[in-house]
RNA sequence: CGGGGCAUAGCGCAGCUUGGUAGCGCAUCUGCUUUGGGAGCAGAGGGUCGCAGGUUCAAAUCCUGCUGCCCCGACCA
C-alpha cells in the first residue's frame, strides 16, 4: 500500500474527550472516529488491525473444530420472552419496533437465537457435540459508554455456543475453549491472565474470564504469589482466620461521637486505626425485615458475596433511613451489632478484632473496647468482603496480589439455562428426549484492539504487537521527488517486498522526513526501512524496529531474506 | 438514575462578566522557498455561534425551554 492511495488521518493534537491512552491514540492515529456516544466508525487503518485480530481468532476457533455462522443483529422479542430475559434485561437492551408494531431488540448477545437455531437443526445425539461461532456486532445500551471502543455501545464480538448431550461433554469443550483462548491471546501478543469469575447476567455456573493486564483496566484481579489461583476481585474468596481470636484487654465504655458518622471520622476522633472499628450495614433480609452485616472498618462489602447468603434478600439492597431508625432506634451512622433484634452476620476478619469500636444504636454514641462473646454473642460468620492485597490466598498457598485488567474474553458453562427454557432437546441413544447442555464463549474483538494499545505504547504513539499491526513494514524514501534514481530504487524495493509477501506501507507523499517518521511511529508500524540517495550509493538501507531494540544498516542485496529473518523472528 | 460542566470553522480553543463589524492556533487550498525528526513567507476559502422561543433599536453575549455530548457518583451506617 502507498500513502498516496491509503491516506493517513493522523492528528497532532490530542482530542479533548479522550481520557485513556488507547482512546487518544486510536483517534490520533486515525483508527476510529466517533459517530455518537459509544458508536465508532472504523477507518481503513483501524479496520486492518481489527481484521487481523479477527483472523487470528477465526483460525484458532476453526482449528478447535468450531463452525462459523452468522446470525442477525436484530432479534424478535418472542425468543427473549421465551427465555424470560425480555423482562429480566433492563434498559441495556435496545428494544425496537418494526412498521407492523412488532417488537424486536438489537442483540446484545445471541443465546436465544442460537438456541432456537439448535433446537430446529439438532435432533440426535449423533450430531453432538457441536460448537457454533460468529463474529458479529452487538449492541448494549451502556449507562455510561466511555474510553472509546473499550466500553462502546456497539462493538464486535466473537461469540461461540456449544451443545452437548451431557455435562461431561460440555466440560470437555469448555476445557478446549480455555486452551483455545490462551492460544488466541498468546498469538495476539498480549500479556493476559485467565481468572475465575462470576457469571453475571448470562447465567450458568462455572465461568472463567480472560483479562489483558493494563493499568487502566476496569476490573481488579486477585492472584496468588505462590500458586495458579487467580480470580476477579468480585469473586476472590477470603478464608476464616486460623489463629485464635485475640483476647480482650480493656473494659467496654460508651464514648461520645457527636458528629462522627463514618468510620473515617470515628477513627480519627478516637485516634484509632480504622481496623479497630467495625461497621454495620443493614440490608433487606430474605425472611426478616433486615440483616446486619458487620465488617472491619478498612474493608469493603462485596455485594455479590453478600447477595448469595440465604438470610439476605436478592437482589441485595440497603434498607432506607426510616427503616434504620425504626429497627435500631438510631439514625444511620451510629449502628452497631449489639442488642439488635435482627440476624447479625460478621465477616471473618471482623471476628478477629478485639477491643473494637462500633455504633451504639444511639445518636452520637459509639461503644469502645467491645469484644465478641464477652459483650455480645459471637455471630454467624461469612466471607462478606472484597479481598485486599496481602490477604492469604484461598488455596492456602501464598498471598494475594491485585492487578488491573481489561476483560477481553469470558467462557461459561451454561448448562440447561437456555436449552430448558426454550425446549432445545435431542434424542439420546435410548430414543429418549434430552435437554442439551450448553457452553458459551465470548471474545470482545474491538476491545482487544484498545487493550493491545493500552498495553503497548510510548511517547511517540502505538507500538503494535507484531501479529496485529496494520502493516508490517514502513518504507520511507528521503526526498524521493528529487531523485529519479531513488524513486526507481524504492519502487523496485516496494514491489520486491510485496511480492515476498510482506505487508508494506510505502510513504510516497512529498513529505519531509520528520513528518513521515512521526506518522509511522504514531501508527505503530513494527519495522521501518529508510532509503536515501546516500544509502543507495553505499548499497545500504536503514532498518529500525518500532520497539527501539534494533537500529542498524542492512545491505540492500538480499534484503527480503534478511527481513524475513528479522520479522519472523 | 443523582450531581457538575460543555456546546462558537474539520479539530483544539478565545470572545459572553459590561449586548453593537465573530477571532486565534492546527488542518485545508494557491504560489515561492525549504527538505534526515511534525518547515518558512505571502495569500485564500471556510460560521444560520447546538435548536426553539423571549427581552432589546440591536443577542454568540441577557432570560426560558429543549436537545446533544463530556466528567464524577451510584459503598453506606
DSSP structure class, residue A151: B
C-alpha closest to that of A203 among A40, A370, A418, A361: A418
Domain residue ranges in chain A? 21-236+402-453, 253-382, 471-567
* C-alpha to C-alpha distances, A144 to A38, A151, A212, A425, nearest whole angstrom: 9, 8, 22, 39
User: What's the rounded mean pLDDT across residues A304-322?
Assistant: 80
A21-236+402-453 maps to which CATH number? 3.30.930.10
Enter the C-alpha cell of residue A419. 436449552
Q: Which nucleotide C1' is nearest A332 CA?
A: B77
User: What's the rounded mean pLDDT across residues A385-408?
Assistant: 89
User: How many angstroms is C1' of B53 away from CA of A37?
Assistant: 28
CA distance A53 to A268: 52
pLDDT (tens digit per residue) in A166-218: 999 999 999 999 999 999 999 999 999 999 876 554 555 688 999 999 888 88
Give the burial string for A201-210 (b: 16+ CB within 10 Å, else e).
ebbbebbbbb
Using a pLDDT cut of 70, give the percent of chain A over it. 98
User: How many angstroms is C1' of B8 away from CA of A17?
Assistant: 18
Element containing residue A54 per DSSP (H, E) = helix A44-63
pLDDT (tens digit per residue) in A79-129: 999 999 988 888 888 888 888 999 999 999 999 999 999 999 999 999 999
What homologous superfamily does CATH list for A471-567? Anticodon-binding domain (3.40.50.800)
User: How many angstroms is C1' of B61 away from CA of A347?
Assistant: 59
pLDDT (tens digit per residue) in A58-77: 999 999 999 999 999 999 99
CA distance A198 to A177: 18
Give the burial string for A69-80 (b: 16+ CB within 10 Å, else e).
eebebebbbebb
- Average pLDDT of chain A? 91
Residue matched to cell numbers 433484634: A341
A130 pLDDT band, cuts 50/70/90, is: very high
- Identify, with chain letter, the residue nearest to nucleotide B38 (CA–C1'): A515
CA distance A97 to A38: 22
Residues 6+ apart with CB under 8 A from A516: A476, A507, A509
C-alpha closest to that of A195 among A25, A404, A360: A404
Is residue A315 reached through a cis peptide bond, with omega within 30 degrees of 0 on the bond before it? yes
Predicted ipTM? 0.89
How many distinct helices (H) and strands (E) make up chain A?
16, 30
Amino acid A205: pLDDT: 60
User: How many angstroms is C1' of B51 away from CA of A538?
Assistant: 65
User: Which bases of strand B sit closer than 7 A to a protein CB?
Assistant: 1, 11-13, 25-27, 34-39, 68-77
Q: Which nucleotide C1' is nearest A510 CA?
A: B35
CA distance A162 to A170: 8
The topology under which CATH files domain A253-382 is: YbaK protein (3.90.960)
CA atoms within 13 A on the CB side of A302: 23
CA distance A63 to A66: 7
Amino acid at each position: 500500500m502507498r500513502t498516496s492511495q491509503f491516506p493517513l488521518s493522523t492528528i497532532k493534537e490530542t482530542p479533548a474527550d479522550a481520557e485513556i491512552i488507547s482512546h487518544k491514540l486510536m483517534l490520533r492515529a486515525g483508527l476510529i472516529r466517533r459517530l455518537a456516544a459509544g458508536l465508532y466508525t472504523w477507518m481503513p487503518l483501524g479496520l486492518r488491525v481489527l481484521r487481523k485480530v479477527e483472523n487470528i481468532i477465526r483460525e484458532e476457533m476453526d482449528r478447535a473444530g468450531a463452525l462459523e455462522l452468522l446470525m442477525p443483529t436484530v432479534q424478535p422479542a418472542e425468543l427473549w420472552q421465551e427465555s424470560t430475559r425480555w423482562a429480566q434485561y433492563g434498559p441495556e437492551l435496545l428494544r425496537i419496533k418494526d412498521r407492523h408494531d412488532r417488537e424486536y431488540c438489537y442483540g446484545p448477545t445471541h443465546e436465544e437465537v442460537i438456541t432456537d437455531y439448535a433446537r430446529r437443526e439438532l435432533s440426535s445425539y449423533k450430531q453432538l457435540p457441536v460448537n457454533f461461532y460468529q463474529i458479529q456486532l452487538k449492541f448494549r445500551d451502556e449507562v455510561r459508554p466511555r474510553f472509546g471502543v473499550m466500553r462502546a455501545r456497539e462493538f464486535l464480538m466473537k461469540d461461540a455456543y456449544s451443545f452437548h448431550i451431557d455435562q461431561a461433554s460440555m466440560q470437555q469443550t469448555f476445557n478446549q475453549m480455555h486452551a483455545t483462548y490462551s492460544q488466541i491471546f498468546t498469538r495476539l501478543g498480549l500479556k493476559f491472565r485467565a481468572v475465575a469469575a462470576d457469571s453475571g447476567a448470562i447465567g450458568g455456573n462455572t465461568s472463567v474470564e480472560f483479562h489483558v493486564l493494563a493499568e487502566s483496566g476496569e476490573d481488579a484481579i486477585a492472584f496468588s504469589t505462590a500458586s495458579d489461583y487467580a480470580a476477579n476481585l468480585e469473586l476472590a474468596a477470603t478464608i476464616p482466620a486460623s489463629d485464635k481470636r485475640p483476647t480482650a484487654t480493656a473494659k467496654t465504655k460508651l464514648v461520645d461521637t457527636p458528629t462522627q458518622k463514618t468510620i473515617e471520622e470515628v477513627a480519627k476522633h478516637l485516634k484509632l486505626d480504622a481496623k479497630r472499628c467495625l461497621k454495620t450495614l443493614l440490608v433487606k433480609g430474605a425472611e426478616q425485615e433486615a440483616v446486619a452485616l458487620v465488617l472491619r472498618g478498612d474493608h469493603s462489602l462485596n455485594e455479590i458475596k453478600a447477595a448469595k447468603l440465604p438470610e439476605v434478600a436478592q437482589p441485595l439492597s440497603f434498607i432506607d433511613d426510616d427503616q434504620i431508625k425504626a429497627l435500631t432506634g438510631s439514625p444511620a451512622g451510629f449502628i452497631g451489632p449489639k442488642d439488635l433484634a435482627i440476624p447479625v452476620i460478621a465477616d471473618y476478619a471482623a471476628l478477629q478484632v478485639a477491643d473494637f469500636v462500633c455504633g451504639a444504636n444511639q445518636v452520637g454514641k459509639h461503644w469502645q473496647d467491645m469484644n465478641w462473646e464477652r459483650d455480645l454473642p459471637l455471630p454467624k460468620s461469612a466471607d462478606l468482603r472484597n479481598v485486599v492485597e496481602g490477604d492469604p490466598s484461598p488455596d492456602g498457598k501464598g498471598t494475594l496480589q491485585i492487578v488491573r485488567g481489561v476483560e477481553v474474553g469470558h467462557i461459561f458453562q451454561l448448562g440447561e439455562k437456555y436449552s430448558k427454557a426454550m425446549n432445545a432437546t435431542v434424542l439420546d441413544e435410548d430414543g429418549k428426549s434430552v435437554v442439551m447442555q450448553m457452553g458459551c464463549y465470548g471474545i470482545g474483538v474491538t476491545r482487544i484492539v484498545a487493550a493491545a494499545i493500552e498495553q503497548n505504547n510510548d511517547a511517540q504513539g502505538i507500538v503494535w504487537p507484531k501479529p496485529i499491526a496494520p502493516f508490517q513494514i514502513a518504507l520511507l524514501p528521503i526526498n524521493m521527488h528529487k531523485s529519479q534514481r531513488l524513486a526507481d530504487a524504492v519502487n523496485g524495493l516496494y514491489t520486491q517486498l510485496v511480492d515476498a509477501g510482506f505487508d508494506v506501507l510505502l510513504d510516497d507523499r512529498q513529505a519531509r522526513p520528520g513528518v513521515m517518521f512521526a506518522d509511522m511511529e504514531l501508527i505503530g508500524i513494527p519495522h521501518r526501512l529508510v532509503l536515501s540517495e546516500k544509502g543507495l550509493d553505499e548499497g545500504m538501507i536503514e532498518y529500525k524496529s518500532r520497539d527501539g531494540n534494533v537500529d542498524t544498516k542492512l545491505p540492500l542485496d538480499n534484503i527480503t531474506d534478511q527481513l524475513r529473518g528479522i520479522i519472523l523472528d
